[in-house]
Amino acid sequence: MRILSGIQSSGALHIGNYLGMIRPMVQSQDRGELFCFLANLHSLTSVFDGKRLNDNTTEALIDLLALGIDPQRSVFWVQSDVPEVCELMWYLCNITPVGLLQRAHSYKDKVGKDVPANNGLFTYPVLMAADILLFQSNRVPVGKDQKQHLEMTRDIAIKFNETYGEVFTIPEAEISEEVAVIPGIDGQKMSKSYGNTLDIFAPEKDLKKRVMSIVTDSLPVEAPKIPESNTVYAIYRLFADEQKAQEMAQRLRAGGYGYGDAKKELFGVLWEHFLPFRKKREEIASHRDYVEEVRRMGAQKARAAAQPTLHRVRELVGVA
């Protein structure tokens, strides 16, 4: 079984990325053949500073290695190092109805949040379909927000197969309902594009400050609170063990326990959870040659895997 997923390199990776996608992807290395890449071409829809994008991509590469992506056991590459994906995207564009793209929630959400409404953003789902279809992926672990993009990928694959002949595997999304959508510090979906993240590798002081600034209601300390309706608890329960999570829920419900205390506990579990990864990250970051070698080797493996499908597609559309 081939499992594939990608993550944008538009900014520091955050705990929504981690729970929604990085951790499932790392775990999937034990049950199939993992293809994992940094979607830096997708990041071009929101980052308009070349140096920043390049730096972010290298940092994200190191982050993922530290978090457990094993470049020996998986194929791990940077999207732009495999130009075949752009060529496939063009073939797919020509069978993709405009109406399909117009229905994309993510496009509408991003434009609503001031991401420029350009053609790259509009066509984003077709590039994503090319990422997935080029490698004949069976399963795609992603966060819930990517569900519609996966449905679009399937529609595009089916349409292509019907038009030209069976070439693409129809992929399936793997979405963890438990994790669903992790809220950001403002209570909306945590996203690099929205500036509301808790970053996995933020320095201690910064992470603490971010956790302390999570938006809550303004109930006083004494008041009983509903755990399920606040962001602090929503994140805490995903990192604390079950007993501790229940304890916090009880304390919130009972009253006499304020959000400030809950935030301090949240910071504690987050810090502890990522401490081992942080140490590994420091070590990897000090071996830049190794990081470059991983990138080179990943691109080679990914290009080799992409070639047969791209050749077949070229023949089918009549440009071979």
| Residues near ligand TRP, by CB under 6 A | 4-8, 39, 42, 128, 131-132, 140, 142, 146, 149
Q: Which listed residue (28, 56, 193, 196) binds ligand ADP by CB under 6 A? A: 193
Closest approach, Cβ 133 to ligand ADP, in A, equals 17
Residue nearest to ligand ADP (CB): 20
Q: Which of 39/266 has CB closer to ligand TRP?
A: 39
Task: For residues 160 and 171, give the distance between their C-alpha atoms in angstroms, rounded to a whole number.
Answer: 14
Cβ–Cβ under 8 Å, residues 182 and 235: yes
Closest approach, Cβ 215 to ligand TRP, in A, equals 24
3-class state of residue 14 by DSSP: strand
Cβ–Cβ under 8 Å, residues 198 and 14: yes
Considering CB distances under 5 to 8 angstroms, the limit depending on partner class, which of ligand ADP, ligand TRP, none binds residue 193? ligand ADP
Task: For residues 146 and 143, give the distance between their C-alpha atoms in angstroms, rounded to a whole number.
Answer: 6
Question: Which residue in 318, 269, 316, 299 sits closest to 84, CA to CA?
Answer: 299
- Tell me which amino acid residue 244 is: K
Q: Which of 145/265 has CB closer to ligand ADP?
A: 145
CB atoms within 10 A of CB 217: 11
Cβ–Cβ under 8 Å, residues 60 and 38: yes
Task: For residues 134 and 150, give the distance between their C-alpha atoms in angstroms, rounded to a whole number.
Answer: 14
Q: Which listed residue (3, 7, 211, 266) binds ligand ADP by CB under 6 A? A: 7
Residues 17-76 that bind ligand ADP (CB under 6 A): 17, 19-21
Closest approach, Cβ 147 to ligand ADP, in A, equals 9
Question: Which residue in 91, 161, 77, 99 sits closest to 126, CA to CA?
Answer: 91
Cβ–Cβ under 8 Å, residues 85 and 74: no
Task: For residues 243 and 122, give the distance between their C-alpha atoms in angstroms, rounded to a whole number.
Answer: 45
The answer to whether residue 258 forms part of the interface with ligand ADP (CB under 6 A) is: no
Residue nearest to ligand TRP (CB): 6
Considering CB distances under 5 to 8 angstroms, the limit depending on partner class, which of ligand TRP, ligand ADP, none binds residue 191? ligand ADP
Task: For residues 2 and 39, give the distance between their C-alpha atoms in angstroms, rounded to a whole number.
Answer: 18
Considering CB distances under 5 to 8 angstroms, the limit depending on partner class, which of ligand TRP, ligand ADP, none binds residue 20? ligand ADP
Task: For residues 25 and 14, give the distance between their C-alpha atoms in angstroms, rounded to a whole number.
Answer: 15
Task: For residues 220 and 243, give the distance between their C-alpha atoms in angstroms, rounded to a whole number.
Answer: 25
Closest approach, Cβ 154 to ligand TRP, in A, equals 12
Task: For residues 212 and 214, give the distance between their C-alpha atoms in angstroms, rounded to a whole number.
Answer: 6
Closest approach, Cβ 42 to ligand TRP, in A, equals 5
Q: Which of 10/96 has CB closer to ligand ADP?
A: 10
User: How is residue 234 written in tokens?
Assistant: 């929503």
The answer to whether residue 181 forms part of the interface with ligand ADP (CB under 6 A) is: yes
Q: Which listed residue (137, 153, 191, 231) binds ligand ADP by CB under 6 A? A: 191
Closest approach, Cβ 28 to ligand TRP, in A, equals 12
The answer to whether residue 190 forms part of the interface with ligand ADP (CB under 6 A) is: yes
Axis-axis angle for helices 259-285, 50-67 (nearest 10): 90
Closest approach, Cβ 145 to ligand TRP, in A, equals 7
Residues 138-167 that bind ligand ADP (CB under 6 A): 142-143, 145-146
Considering CB distances under 5 to 8 angstroms, the limit depending on partner class, which of ligand ADP, ligand TRP, none binds residue 196? none
Give me the residues that bind ligand ADP (CB under 6 A), please.
Answer: 7-8, 10, 16-17, 19-21, 142-143, 145-146, 179, 181-182, 189-193
